[in-house]
Structure 1
Amino acid sequence: MAGEVVDGETPLKVVTFKSLHPILSIDPPRAGEAVAWYKDVFGFEEVAKIYGKRKAGQDDPLIDHAHLKLGEVEIKLADDTGHGASVEGGKRPPSALKGTTFTIQVECSDPDAIFAKAIAKGAKASLEVSDQDWGRRYGKFIDPFGFEWGLLKPLEVEEEKKVEAENGEKAAEPEAPKEAAKE
């Protein structure tokens, strides 16, 4: 049947996905600092921020939820409060893991510029931006909150091939030099 996957005798509905929204757990009380850093370095816009109840001895309440958006890219983050999923083996900040278990990879128009800005704002390079043999300009850094970001841009050659494929044509190749007429 169209639109269904059959597993033995049971038809299963085809499920599609629209987007992915990573939720970053930040060492408290640094989620506010992380929001400002991501806005400054990447240009994210703040969609929402929800604070928890301020506890005795806290200057500011912790952030329970912050939602940032840049075009189609969205991330969410919160101060690690030590309750709920964090205690039960769910999300934990990179410091609790002594590293991170994934890279947030973002395709952008100028990975060199974002990389340079991130490093200037306290990130640590894990892979300098360079042309990769798999057809992308790519580099990685660890942000001040322990998360690794990968920045990539398709190389020009790949862009030309993509346009050719979409147009169903091959770009004109340069003519070979003509031999001089023999005298």
Structure 2
Amino acid sequence: MVVTPDHHHTVTPMLCVPDAAAAIAFYCEVFDAPEIFDRHVDEAGKVGHAEVLIGDSPVWIVDEYPEYDIHPPRGPAPVQMIVYVPDVDSVFDRAIAAGATVYHPPTDMPYGERNGRFDDPFGYRWSIRMRH
């Protein structure tokens, strides 16, 4: 039996970024996501652990820790974050205004979804989706 903390799911992503404080601000703004965990900041000022809640899913955010082999993406991340939202266009617009770059603008898809994809300033690609 898998036992997870109350606000977690079986799979919870941990994003390593080059500037965790800036990433937290970005994700909170773009996704209207609250920070749900008291940030652990080490003596050097690096974020060792923080959590934001995107929809009903916690996302962990940490700074780079080479001594523990924790690194941000070097080039495009090999994983894409898929997030279902009530309004693709407003989330997408907030992301671009906050510094993300357009990968694919919001488009109605033949399989009944509207989606758009952007690359955040920290190396991750996000696919923002909603059902029609």
TM-score (norm 1): 0.65
From 30, 40, 50, give the equivalent of 1:66: 50
* 1:100 and 2:77 correspond: yes
- For residue 20 of structure 1, what is the aligned residue in structure 2? 11
Corresponding position of 1:32: 21
Q: Which residue of the partner structure matches residue 138 of structure 1?
A: 115
Kindly tell me the number of residue pairs found equivalent between the two proteins: 127
1:76 corresponds to 2:60: yes
Equivalent residue, structure 2, for 1:51: 41
Offset, 1:16: 9.9
Query: What are the superposed Cα offsets for residues 78-137 of structure 1, whole Å, 9 maximum, x if unpaired?
Result: 001212242xxxxx312x2x2110110001110110001111111001011010112110
TM-score by length of 2: 0.88
Unaligned runs of 5+ in 2: none
Q: Output the amino acid matched with 1:129.
A: P
What is the CA RMSD across the aligned residues, in angstroms? 1.8
- CA change 1:16–1:154 in 2 (3 A) is farther
Runs of 4+ deviating beyond 2 Å: 15-20
Taking the aligned partners of 1:137 and 1:100, their CA distance within structure 2 comes to 23
Paired with 2:101 and 2:54, the residues of 1 have a C-alpha distance of: 23
Q: Which has the higher contact order (CA 8 A, sep 6+)?
A: 2
Could you say if the C-alpha distance between residues 114 and 71 of structure 1 is closer, same or farther in structure 2, counting changes exceeding 3 Å? closer
1:120 to 97, 104, 110: 97
Identity of aligned pairs, percent? 28
Tell me the amino acid that sits aligned with residue 25 of structure 1. Answer: C
Cα distance between partner residues in 1 of 2:110 and 2:55: 28
Partners of 1:71 and 1:35 in 2: how far apart? Answer: 15
Alignment partner of 2:66: what SS?
coil
For 1:31, give the aligned amino acid.
A
Please give the alpha-carbon distance, in whole angstroms, between the structure 1 residues aligned to 2:3 and 2:130.
26
CA separation of 1:107/1:71 partners in 2, compared to 1, >3 Å: closer, same or farther? closer
Secondary structure of the residue that 1:118 maps to in structure 2?
Answer: helix
SS of structure 2 residue aligned to 1:68: strand
Specify the alignment match of 1:180 in structure 2.
Answer: none
Corresponding letter in the other structure for 2:29: D
Larger Rg: 1
